[in-house]
Structure 1
């Protein structure tokens, strides 16, 4: 397939009216009028030995939106995603320069309650990682560690979270069965329910459908569009078609630099940077 045809195939997945008419809740204001809930300013990330992975990243992310990070492997997408809730703190010898604010609070300032941050900014990983516990215990695990003891409250959290993850009807009669017995797609939705149970305001998703079949992928995408009504979602994806189907904003990364950041429509229809166009047309890739 030629590079032009590949880009055309990608654009076919982009409904130009979708984000403004069908999937956005009527009560949400226009994207440009929503508040910035994540502000990344002159952000640099270094691995041990001062190996730089991100270079002077600047971007703002709106509330109740879906933002996708695209780009070839090793370009810094996941590194930035994990910086937003300081998951990268777990990497020995890593360091940062610059600023990330979440709800106008600098998350890298001294004294930041990182546990609270990770409660407000939930994470869903590439591979579903349910605990070797029952479905019920997976969902309520976080609230229990936060001190919730009431069985009635925990039951309600479990049901609410599974409903929001579009999984309740499938598992309501087998909550005490092992979570590892679920299908791959169900396990990933369970992990989303587990994140939701902590009442986050932001959900970070690192290629959440890469290990799923097309039907399971579609279910997760439909779920993500529904979750946008209540949460701000930032997702890393290697699927350009997925970015066109679900995201409001798209950021293209290359070699640790943010090359272009704009509405998904503009990124895929009229990119400003030739490097972006090369990537989405298939002339440059992984």
Structure 2
């Protein structure tokens, strides 16, 4: 083979290598582009939380007046508000301003107080809860309540959570076990008590008892959770755990919380309603209420000038 033939053969080999390398590079680039397109498509189709402005209404309160003492004492004056789904709404205001009264009106807990009366309407699930013939027991199943002071039943941890489902006719042991575990997990209590489910609930700490009460409410599969100052009797660490829990639960529930703590309202809520002397002074996104309130009374209360 002559030197010229060898050179031609070598050049052909180099050209082949370059061609093969270029083809592989192009293939790699095409595949990379496909992966990028796939990632973008996946990103675009990934479920996103609806912005607050586009969420539906969970609770609608229209022209509500409320009376104690057989109509002799008016506690609420023409309350109007719409509470959005899967949000946390904080009710703030000084003692006696009506925030707990309106909260308890949502699931008709005020019916238990003699001599009370409500005018107007509160719409939950597109129905006025004060219409004649409303099944109040069912309403309280769909609208759970957590009270200011933890009130576990004097029975085991397991029986506390299973109490509601059993009363609704759930008898299957496996189903009850699942409900108890799911509810305790959602209440961030499962890891603390899973080995002590048969122990008395009264042996738990104050913070654990309050989370147990939340688990008990969750076990009824409500759509709405009402919380009346749920951390007022707790220490700062237990309070933080409940607040973290509230932020997680709003993905599944609509939460309304009454609180005297401005810091707590700012930390956990999406919307804040300020009540004063039975009137709803202002209701808006929490950030706006705390940074740029419309009403001077709101500004004065938040800044600590009164209340």
> TM-score, with normalisation over the residues of structure 1?
0.90
For the pair 1:177 / 2:199, whether they are aligned, the reply is yes
Aligned match of 1:147:
169
Q: Deviations over 1:117-167 (max 9, x none)?
A: 000000000000000000000000000011100011000000000000000
Distance in 2 of aligned mates of 1:29 and 1:38: 18
Counterpart selection for 2:93 from 47, 71, 76: 71
Q: Helix, strand or coil for the counterpart of 2:70?
A: coil
Aligned match of 2:289:
267
Aligned match of 2:32:
none
**Runs (4+) of structure 1 moved beyond 3 Å?**
none
Counterpart selection for 1:33 from 31, 54, 59: 54
Measured after TM superposition, the shift of residue 27 of structure 1 is 2.8
Counterpart selection for 1:43 from 60, 64, 67: 64
For the pair 1:112 / 2:134, whether they are aligned, the reply is yes
Q: Deviations over 1:78-98 (max 9, x none)?
A: 000000000000111110100
Distance in 2 of aligned mates of 1:180 and 1:192: 15
Distance in 2 of aligned mates of 1:103 and 1:149: 28
Aligned match of 1:133:
155
Distance in 2 of aligned mates of 1:34 and 1:277: 28
Whether the aligned pair in 1 keeps the contact of 2:70 and 2:117 (CA below 8 Å) is no
Task: State how 1:218-257 maps to structure 2 within 5 Å.
Answer: 218-257=240-279
Q: Deviations over 1:167-213 (max 9, x none)?
A: 00000000000000000000000000000000000000000000000
Larger Rg: 2
Distance in 1 of aligned mates of 2:126 and 2:70: 31
Distance in 2 of aligned mates of 1:48 and 1:279: 29
Distance in 2 of aligned mates of 1:207 and 1:91: 19
Counterpart selection for 2:105 from 83, 106, 118: 83
Aligned match of 2:219:
197
Distance in 2 of aligned mates of 1:180 and 1:31: 39
- Give the helix-richer structure, 1 or 2: 2
Q: Deviations over 1:205-231 (max 9, x none)?
A: 000000000000000000000000000
> TM-score, with normalisation over the residues of structure 2?
0.84
Task: State how 1:86-101 maps to structure 2 within 5 Å.
Answer: 86-101=108-123
Higher relative contact order (CA 8 A, sep 6+): 1
Instruction: Please tell me the root mean square deviation across aligned C-alpha atoms, in Å.
Output: 1.0
Distance in 2 of aligned mates of 1:148 and 1:259: 44
Distance in 1 of aligned mates of 2:113 and 2:70: 12
Task: State how 1:148-163 maps to structure 2 within 5 Å.
Answer: 148-163=170-185
